[in-house]
Amino acid sequence: MANRVLTKDEFNSLILAWSKDHILAIESLFNISLTSQQKNLVNLANSQTARVAVSSGTGTGKTSVLTMMTLLYLMILPDCRILITSPSFNQLSRVFSSELKKWYRKMPKQFQDFFTITRDTIRYTNSERYEQFASLVTASVENKEALQGGHAENYVIFADEASGINEEAFDILIGTLSTGKGGRFIQVSNPVRSSGRFYQIFQSDKGTWEKLYFSAIDSPNVNREWIEEMKQTYGEDSDLYRMRVLGQFPRVGVSQFIGSDIVEAALYNQLEPISYMNFPKIMGVDIARFGDDKTCFVVRQGPRVIDIKTYTGLSTMEVAARVSEYQAIHKCVQIHIDAIGIGAGTYDRCKELNLPVVEVNVSSKSTEPNVYCNLRSQIWGKMKDWLQNGASIPYEYKDILGPELTSMEYFYNSRMQLQLMSKKDLKKAGHPSPDAADALSLTFASAIFEVKRRHKTKLNIKKPRFLWI
């Protein structure tokens, strides 16, 4: 576009034309040619209530197109407010802001003069009726008020590196679209986590999200030699190649304990009853402690999950009553109850009812201390082995067990023992509370050891043979 100054009528005619063709607008305004992937994103975003998620390889121009759309929308959409967010302040202040300023400088001088850009705000000053601006806000729960502030005829959320946005912050963002005419929500990310809301959107067959994959192979912006180097160095079947080149989610996240491919295999492995009917039934009961946690009952019969029930707001006596009712239906040989804290009351009541309960203290020591730091980590390890060896989960429990199993993270402590992240820390990180998954893991306690009450025995003390002892 020439740098000739447009008259007001020419400018208004141009804005009208750009409002009807966003691809023409971006290519004209920034003097570039969008890739086919970028054009697809721009077209899908051209709706007042658009929901678009892009899982992208490295170097495909996902952040670039968001910055161009930011500047364009402020010019062509009346009463427009844009929230630009990312889980990392550095991503916003360095990557996004730098990219935005780069494309801002590529606009004709007349259009540059219409914008005022600061560290956390982009304002368009050529609107006579509306205050048009975009705000850069880190996607954290601490910024709840700033994340909630979206009310405009054309409200837009651009989320960069959305895979890292925790679930609580994501839910706040979704909540801002519930009033008025709603708004656009466009999120892009490298697929670095096989858990969280961004991941769940791509795994779900339901919902209103348009899902795109930006492969580096299909992008003319990516160096072919780099792609070949990734292929030769890591292999086409590696998770790094999947994430950085193909824009696909890893089979196992960096700190993910159970890979999504393992869980998916169990969901699609629908066994005939004859293959598990001769196994005894075992029940696991995980009792809610506080907040929105759920009390969960899971019955497993050998390789097959038979049933899952969840409850909220039950007292310990009510949980015991439900256990009794559930046992009358399934007739389990053992009922494993997490008897720490609030679970102790339920366990004691179930003993009074002569139910075959076994108390499990998941914080107790592991019987494999060279591998696991505690019993909880160990029974999850047994559950992972079970999943890898032909387990079967009814597909109807996909939305319950799927996210909980794949979101569990782990680390190694100072003794190099594998330790799972606690429920509290998982929720802080934006993951769902693994209530049903913990209940299922309890069914593997008997595979490790049989919990028995210990009785004190008198020790035989011999008299010392030596005077100095």
pLDDT in tens, 47-59: 999 999 999 999 9
Confidence of residue 466 (pLDDT cuts 50, 70, 90): very low
pLDDT of the residue at 404: 93
Whether 189 contacts 164, CB under 8 Å:
yes
Indicate whether 360 pLDDT > 70: yes
Q: Domain residue spans in the chain?
A: 8-246, 260-447
Q: Measuring CA to CA, which residue among 299, 430, 413, 286 is closest to residue 362?
A: 286
Q: Which helix (H) or strand (E) holds 212?
A: strand 210-214
Indicate whether 309 pLDDT > 50: yes
Indicate whether 455 pLDDT > 50: no
Mapping DSSP to helix (H, G, I), strand (E, B) and coil, where does residue 342 land? coil
Give the architecture-level CATH label for domain 8-246. 3-Layer(aba) Sandwich (3.40)
Question: Which distant-in-sequence residues (6+ apart) come within 8 Å of 211 by Cβ?
Answer: 53, 54, 55, 201, 202
Residues 363-410: tens digit of each pLDDT:
999 999 888 999 999 999 999 999 999 999 999 999 999 999 998 988
Ranked by mean pLDDT, the top range of 114-118, 182-186, 421-425 is 114-118
Q: Does domain 260-447 have CATH number 3.40.190.10?
A: no
How is the beta sheet containing 184-189 ordered, strand by strand? 115-117, 121-124, 132-138, 80-86, 154-160, 184-189, 51-56, 210-214
| Rounded percentage of the chain residues whose pLDDT exceeds 70 | 91
pLDDT of the residue at 254: 55
Indicate whether 352 pLDDT > 90: yes
d(CA 419, CA 412): 6
Ranked by mean pLDDT, the top range of 168-182, 346-360, 399-413 is 346-360
pLDDT of the residue at 253: 57
pLDDT of the residue at 33: 96
Q: Is the pTM of this model over 0.85?
A: no
Q: Please, what is the end-to-end C-alpha distance for the chain in angstroms?
A: 98
Confidence of residue 462 (pLDDT cuts 50, 70, 90): very low
Question: Which distant-in-sequence residues (6+ apart) come within 8 Å of 467 by Cβ?
Answer: none
**Overall average pLDDT of the 409-433 stretch:** 78
- Mean confidence (pLDDT) of the chain: 87
Q: Which residue has the higher pLDDT, 418 or 72?
A: 72
**Overall average pLDDT of the 157-165 stretch:** 91
Residues 241-277: tens digit of each pLDDT:
888 899 998 776 557 889 888 999 999 999 999 999 9
| Rounded percentage of the chain residues whose pLDDT exceeds 90 | 61
Confidence of residue 2 (pLDDT cuts 50, 70, 90): low
